[in-house]
Structure 1
Amino acid sequence: MTESPEHQFLSQSFLEVLNNFSASKLYGYKEAQRRRFDFSCVLAENWDYLLDGQTLWQHTEGIDKDLRTLLLSSDAHILAYTLRDTMKNRRLLHEVTTDFRSGNMAHNLDRLKVFLIPANFDADSEDDRRLIFNQLSEQISEDILFNIIFGRISSERIRFLLQEMGKHTGLEIAVLHYIATSGHWTMTDLRRRFSVGIETVRDRMRRLQIAGLLDYSAKGFPPYYVSSAGRTFLRLCADVATEFFGGLPAQIPRSSGLLELLGMKAWVIEGKEITNGLRGLEDSTPEAMYASFAFRAVIAKMLFGTDWNSLGFIIDTREKKIWTRRYQR
């Protein structure tokens, strides 16, 4: 059966969006064998996530077959379904997913992400293609990257971490990096490493935990470990700091697109602007949030010795067990 231009555009664009975002170096991307699916790829953070996807545009009666193929025949960690947004399609989508929820395969729906595309999309229109590509970019970054690959990192949590300025600003990032790259550590190690009081260390770790960058588990030692959201945050910090310390003319970091989705508008910061740019942060604009973020990444290196060339993160066995329970089938 010949695929419509819309069908082809949506399947190709889905992979293109994921490939474009991978230029940030926050995760790896490679296309996989499609098998019986319209598109497939592997996304790698510290784990490899296989993604299988189907696209439906013209034939509503294919929804049942598409979903059952995805939910029953795919062993992928993420299942993507892109389809035309009509009432008939929504009705059939609801019927099939309800049928799965009532059976013993309801857990398979946890892997499914649905992307609804306006019914009047015309692939022959350049404006339509641009609009739908941007829509897919936003939805994919939110539903797949931020909520799965990056461990539910969010602009609200990052804003919480960035808005407070005071003594030892940047220490929280240095502590996060130290924990992420050290196999065994104690609170005393952190206090001595950064020459601060134990209560100061505890305060920074509390803030990191609230921001979702540190996880806690009483089962094991040390009790805190860096989450996938924390590793993403550190990779973003390294990207920004590299531009500042790289010895070349300052540029917008390659992760600027993802930073913008986290509420930060990247701009070129040079020399003393790293501190001058912090003035007037009270307005909490995206530009101000980026200045606060960049300042912390730079200060973590200048004052606390964080090595942004060292991103060899140690994965905690407790996180590995959680990932295995959630995704291995």
Structure 2
Amino acid sequence: MATSPEHEYLSNAALRIMESASNSGLFGYTEGQRKLFDFSCDLKKDWSKVVVGQTLWKHDGDGIDKDVRTLLNERDVAAAVYIARHKSRLRSRFAEVTQSYLDTPMRDRLSRLRVFWVPADFSTTDEEVVASTYRALQEEITRDLLLQVTLGGLTPRDVIRFASSRRPGLPIAILSHIKANGHRSHKSTATALGQTSGPVGYETDRLFMTGFLESESLQGGVYRITASGLAMLDICSRLRDYLNGNLGEENKNAHLEYICSLLGIDYPSIPIDTPLIGEDVVHQLQNPTFLLLQHVAQADSEGSVDWPAPYFALPSN
């Protein structure tokens, strides 16, 4: 069945949004084989996560059954995206269909389903409507999909908790060490970092309590880095590039800036010549961005971090 211009635009927009976000250097992107889907892509770091999607525009509620079944039947995907026309009847039908899977073996796959509703009067003939719809989709897909799939579900609250540590640089150094070497004990980590056990133990336990580290024991002990911990390391590494003037042309990266803005990180507001360490620092204790950059600058000056390289976008197939 022939698709409408709106259907084609929305399917392609989803891919453009994810490819554009990959230019942040936080993950790579490759367009995938569509098979039964309207769009598909592979998001890459030191892992590979497939995102597939369907777009509902012209067909009515009966098509939702088939679309949802197709999305849920696909194995080994990180997220199944559904872009749909916003109508009360369609929303009700979507709820009915998804609820029907709650008592089936596929109930666990519902958690990977992401639905984005587009105004019913959307038309590709209206340039202003197209632009506003793209912006809305960009924010929703970045916040509700990409931050979950590629950045471990990182939130602005997580960033504040990380930045509020009173030992500049140490949380980054601990994450970097545990990523590379694992964690046997606070003493061994402290020795490797040239620190004393007390502060290292406190910060390590704090990283565990705030979700950047995980352990098989609820009391902690033997730690490993979580997906959000890896994401924080990646973001801090890109912020280091910013402080060193190496972020890109004119030291700018609009894609990274946009993702960081959704996490409450307004790094362009702190000029790179702002004193962050040493005697000339004018502390901004209520500014999470300043505190985070202070962590980055301190860790960089100590040379104790193996900074992750950026993940560049890969050519589409």
- Asked whether the two chains share a fold, i.e. TM above 0.5, the reply is yes
- 1:243-302 Cα offsets, whole Å, 9 max, x none, are 3235799724562221111111121632344359964624x4xxx322221221111021
Matched, 1:58 2:46: no
Contact 2:182 2:223 in 1 (8 A): no
Deviation at 1:26, TM superposition (A): 1.4
What is the aligned partner in structure 1 of residue 178 from structure 2? 179
Question: In structure 2, what is the Cα distance between the partners aligned to 1:33 and 1:216?
Answer: 37
Q: Which runs of 4+ in 1 moved over 6 A?
A: 247-250
Q: 1:309 to 1:214 in 2, by over 3 A?
A: closer
What is the aligned partner in structure 2 of residue 2 from structure 1? 2
* 3-state secondary structure, aligned to 1:53: strand
Question: In structure 2, what is the Cα distance between the partners aligned to 1:277 and 1:4?
Answer: 61
What is the aligned partner in structure 2 of residue 22 from structure 1? 22
Q: 1:73 to 1:223 in 2, by over 3 A?
A: closer
What is the aligned partner in structure 1 of residue 272 from structure 2? 270
Letter in 2 for 1:19: E
- 1:135-160 Cα offsets, whole Å, 9 max, x none, are 21222222222223322211101112
Choose between structure 1 and 2: higher helix proportion: 1
Contact 1:81 1:115 in 2 (8 A): yes
Question: In structure 2, what is the Cα distance between the partners aligned to 1:225 and 1:162?
Answer: 20
What is the aligned partner in structure 2 of residue 49 from structure 1? 49
| Structure 1 unaligned regions, length at least 5 | 313-329
Once the two structures are superposed, the pairs formed by residues 151-300 of structure 1 within 5 Å of their partners are 151-164=152-165, 166=166, 168-183=167-182, 185-218=184-217, 223-245=222-244, 251-253=251-253, 255-267=256-268, 269-275=271-277, 279=282, 281-282=284-285, 284=286, 288-300=287-299
Greater CA drift, 115-124 or 9-18: 115-124
Question: In structure 2, what is the Cα distance between the partners aligned to 1:302 and 1:73?
Answer: 47
Number of paired residues? Answer: 305
Once the two structures are superposed, the pairs formed by residues 111-126 of structure 1 within 5 Å of their partners are 111-126=112-127
What is the aligned partner in structure 2 of residue 93 from structure 1? 94
Greater CA drift, 301-310 or 17-26: 301-310
| Structure 2 unaligned regions, length at least 5 | 312-317
Contact 1:158 1:211 in 2 (8 A): no
Instruction: Please give the root-mean-square deviation of Cα atoms over the aligned residues, in Å.
Output: 2.7
Deviation at 1:202, TM superposition (A): 1.4
Question: In structure 2, what is the Cα distance between the partners aligned to 1:150 and 1:163?
Answer: 20
Deviation at 1:310, TM superposition (A): 6.8
Letter in 1 for 2:80: L
What is the aligned partner in structure 1 of residue 128 from structure 2? 127
Question: In structure 2, what is the Cα distance between the partners aligned to 1:111 and 1:306?
Answer: 34
Question: In structure 2, what is the Cα distance between the partners aligned to 1:89 and 1:69?
Answer: 17
* 3-state secondary structure, aligned to 2:41: strand
- Choose between structure 1 and 2 for higher RCO, CA contacts under 8 A separated by at least 6 residues: 2
Deviation at 1:183, TM superposition (A): 4.5
Contact 1:278 1:291 in 2 (8 A): no
Identity of counterpart residues, as a percentage?
A: 28
What is the aligned partner in structure 2 of residue 31 from structure 1? 31
Question: In structure 2, what is the Cα distance between the partners aligned to 1:23 and 1:149?
Answer: 13
What is the TM-score when the length of structure 2 is the normalising length?
0.86
What is the aligned partner in structure 2 of residue 326 from structure 1? none
Letter in 1 for 2:4: S
What is the TM-score when the length of structure 1 is the normalising length?
0.83
Q: 1:74 to 1:241 in 2, by over 3 A?
A: same
Contact 1:84 1:119 in 2 (8 A): yes
Contact 2:237 2:309 in 1 (8 A): no
Deviation at 1:222, TM superposition (A): 7.0
Question: In structure 1, what is the Cα distance between the partners aligned to 2:30 and 2:45?
Answer: 12
What is the aligned partner in structure 2 of residue 148 from structure 1? 149
Letter in 1 for 2:99: T
Letter in 2 for 1:212: G
